[in-house]
Amino acid sequence: MHSIIKNSLLFILIAVKVLFGQGNLENQFNKAQLLFQDKKYFDAITEFKRLQFFDYEGRYSFETNLKIGLCYKAGAKFDDAINYYSIALKCTSDPQKIFLVKIEIIKSNILRKTITRALSLCDELEKEYDSYLIREEINYWRGWAFMFNDDWKNASECFSKNGNMELTKLCRSVQNEKVSVTFAKVISYILPGAGQIYSGQILSGLMSLAWNVFAGYLTINAFVSERAFDGVVIGELLWYRFYRGNIQNAEKFAEEKNLEIANRALTYLQTEFKGIKP
């Protein structure tokens, strides 16, 4: 009895899919496409998946999986996007389509900041294609990967090779603006407060210098006055604290300044840059 019911349901399901496929697959695809173009990505995913259910011959397998991936990417669900791109790759043998999907996988890895993976995929893809234009595009996305990895020097070299002067100038500008965290720490060892001043925190640097001078004066004065115990206590509890804090602050302010510079550049890329983005 259960077997009869099961077979009947299977027959009905197959019949519905066949009837649907006779004239409605294209309409369903066009409907999903319109939703995608209108940036109604959640609804588009639903319609593309509905089309996949009825597309028993797999006529739209590549297009639907690619578009579902793009929808997920638009919603910042990069893991899901890469998953559907990978399925799309299995649905075609067309070299151009394969290249297109692999570029999308690289872009999603850039956006989710799995930069090592993105750069590795760029290298792999470059070995597969012996074309200047294709290598140029791969190098373009390699530059974006370096930017997202805060490696503006390598990014500028990538864009310079491509002749993209706008992005080359941006990367060089960021690289020139950024301060050296190591240098900020080193000069703070030599002169307390110098690292903060170097990082643009002038008031903090002057305050740090003043507190260190004051604590140093108290410590030295205690030893000169033969109050060795007071000198040790003041030196360890007060002077050492200010001196150590000065070095830590120098490192912190330098890193914050660099982060601010990088974020300003990334904001420009997001809001004002007119070229192709990940």
**How many angstroms separate the CA atoms of 150 and 128, rounded?**
28
Structurally, the chain folds into a number of domains equal to 2
Whether 146 and 197 share a structural domain:
no
Q: How far apart, in whole angstroms, are the C-alpha atoms of residue 80 and residue 5?
A: 36
Q: In this structure, is residue 99 part of a structural domain?
A: yes
Q: How many CB atoms lie within 10 A of CB 94?
A: 11
pLDDT digits (tens, 9 = 90+) for 198-241: 788 778 767 776 666 665 555 555 555 555 444 444 545 555 56
78: its two tokens: 């990069």
CATH number of 150's domain: 1.25.40.10
Rounded Cα distance, 124 and 233, in Å: 62
Q: Is 239 exposed, middle or buried (CB count within 10 Å of its CB: 0-12, 13-18, 19+)?
A: buried
Residue 201 lies in a domain: yes
Whether residue 217 sits in one domain with residue 114: no
Q: Which two tokens stand for residue 49?
A: 């998946």
In-domain check, residue 266: yes
Question: Do 193 and 184 form a contact (C-beta atoms < 8 A)?
Answer: no
Show which of 107, 124, 157 is a domain's final residue.
Answer: 157
Judge whether 169 lies within some domain.
no
Question: At residue 75, what are phi and psi to the nearest 5 degrees?
Answer: -95, 10
Nearest Cα to 63, choosing from 101, 20, 24, 106? Answer: 101
Pair (66, 119) in one structural domain = yes
Domain shared by 27 and 118, yes or no: yes
Q: Does the predicted TM-score (pTM) go above 0.85?
A: no
The verdict on 87 and 133 lying in the same domain is yes
**31 and 147 belong to one structural domain:** yes
The reply to whether 143 and 185 lie within a common domain is no
Local structure of 86: helix, strand or coil? helix
* Domain assignment present for 56: yes
Tokens standing for 253?
């302010």
Q: Which residue range forms the structural domain that includes residue 149? A: 23-157
Q: Tens of pLDDT along the chain (278 residues)?
A: 555 555 555 545 454 455 445 458 888 888 988 989 999 999 999 999 998 888 888 899 999 999 999 999 999 999 999 999 999 999 999 999 999 999 999 999 999 999 999 999 999 998 888 777 788 899 999 999 999 999 999 999 998 888 889 999 999 999 999 888 888 888 877 777 777 887 887 787 677 766 666 655 555 555 555 554 444 445 455 555 666 767 777 788 888 888 898 999 889 888 898 988 88
User: Do 261 and 190 lie in a common domain?
Assistant: yes
**Residue 191 · residue 205 · CB < 8 Å:** no
For residue 61, is it within any domain? yes
Tens of pLDDT, residues 250-267: 788 888 888 898 999 889
Has residue 17 been placed in a domain? no
- Domain boundary among the residues 120, 142, 157 is at 157
Tokens of 240: 């050492």
